[in-house]
Amino acid sequence: MPERFEQLAAGATELRVELKRGDAVARAGDNWNLEWTSEGSDAPVIERDGLVLRIRQRNNGFLPGGIDSKRLDMKLTVPPSVEVIELRTGLGKVDAEGLRARLTMTTGNGSVSLHDAGGEGSLNTGNGAVSINGYDGTLVASTGNGRVKVDRLKGTLTLNTGNGTVEVLDVEGRVRASTGNGEVKLTGVAGEVELNSGHGAMDILAPRSLDVQANTAMGAIHVDGGSLRGMRANSMMGEIRCATRLEPGTYDITSAMGAVEVQLPADALARVDAQTSFGQVHSDFPLVRVGRSGPMGFGGVRMVGSIGEGEPRVELNLRSGKGTIRLHRVAQDAPRGHLESRPAPPAWPIPEPPPPHIDAPPYPDIQSGSQDPTLAVLEAVARGELTPEQAERLLAATPNQT
């Protein structure tokens, strides 16, 4: 068998392996080699078609779902002359190391792992974890249910999981990561990233001059340490905290329901526009309260200002639909990060208990010539005679005017 296999494989530039049940493992080496074990005595079928070498499992009866009842595990050594490699199994793990090729690794149910490889790759599993350690090139990896972890990569990376954590460490290039339900964690990443999560927090630790686009429907977004050169972050329900060095660029940070916190050095040159529809703005830097830029509730406020003497290098736009905005001053040599932690948002909005009954204040005196109670209430708020909460109760009780 070994001699016949080497003869059939000699000169092949494409390898296609297809198993129904069993593990497919491939390693880079100087020469072709094939090792296999089977629950029966059936050897794999080996075929040659031009430059294509095919290895497949025989059909020996099926389990429910169309999976072969017998198991065949295969380990291959592949020479560097092979340019295209496909490893497929219906049930089992797929593992590869040291390969430099156009690579496809697929399993219906099982883990997929790739080590010290390069080129152009596609990794897929219906149910199982995906692990990548050391890669140079363009890579797409996805799992329907399972964790995705990448460590040490240069190039372009696309990661997808329906349900599971996405973890990326020491990557340089362009990263796009998505999870339907799960956390996204980045550590020591440089380049550009686009992060999307239906339900899950996002943690970006020690970024290296990173440009970030992050979106989550439900979850917090935290950036600690390192440096950014641009950021567009949006959370529908969750706080956003940014404690990193901001390089020249634009930073748009928005939370529909949650607090927003940002650190700036004492000598920062920045232009700030902070607006909350229902909440407060607290800043260690002098800001000026201005008029609204759009619809805003009675509890909203907008503060703007230029920090430092000189042309602003950072454009900082902070928005919160319902939540407090905080802008912190830190010493130039102070370590970034470690902002006060706050509890994660609940899985679903929890209605606030009703406030205790408080008799509404009497209508304020209507100035001569004014016959509209609504206008009178608004004028009283402007004069400081009513709080926004009192005004809302009064307006709710104001009869419609005809």
Average pLDDT of the residues in 86-105: 97
Query: In the chain, where are the structural domains located?
Result: 358-402
Tell me the pLDDT of the chain averaged across its residues.
85
pLDDT at 341 over 90: no
Average pLDDT of the residues in 370-377: 54
Give the CA dihedral 261, 267, 273, 278, nearest 10 degrees.
Answer: 30
CA atoms within 13 A on the CB side of 46: 19
Residue bearing the bigger pLDDT, 145 or 338: 145
First to last CA, the chain: 97
Tell me how far apart the alpha carbons of residues 256 and 238 are, in angstroms, rounded to a whole number.
8
Tell me how far apart the alpha carbons of residues 182 and 168 are, in angstroms, rounded to a whole number.
14
pTM: 0.78
In percent, the amount of the chain with pLDDT more than 70 equals 77
Give me the pLDDT at residue 370, please: 38
pLDDT in tens, 217-272: 999 999 999 999 999 999 999 999 999 999 999 999 999 999 999 999 999 999 99
pLDDT in tens, 168-179: 999 999 999 999
Task: Give residue for tokens 């009954």.
Answer: 357
Pairing between β-strand 288-289 and β-strand 281-283 as defined by DSSP bridges: unpaired
Residue bearing the bigger pLDDT, 383 or 209: 209
Tell me how far apart the alpha carbons of residues 349 and 224 are, in angstroms, rounded to a whole number.
27
The answer to whether the CB of 215 falls within 8 A of the CB of 195 is yes
pLDDT at 349 over 60: no
- Taking the CA atoms of 143, 147, 152 and 158 in sequence, report the sign of the dihedral they define: positive
Beta-bridge partners for 46 = 55
Tokens of 129: 């974890």
Give me the pLDDT at residue 304, please: 95
The answer to whether the CB of 356 falls within 8 A of the CB of 374 is no
pLDDT in tens, 307-340: 998 899 999 999 999 999 999 999 765 555 544 4
pLDDT at 393 over 90: no
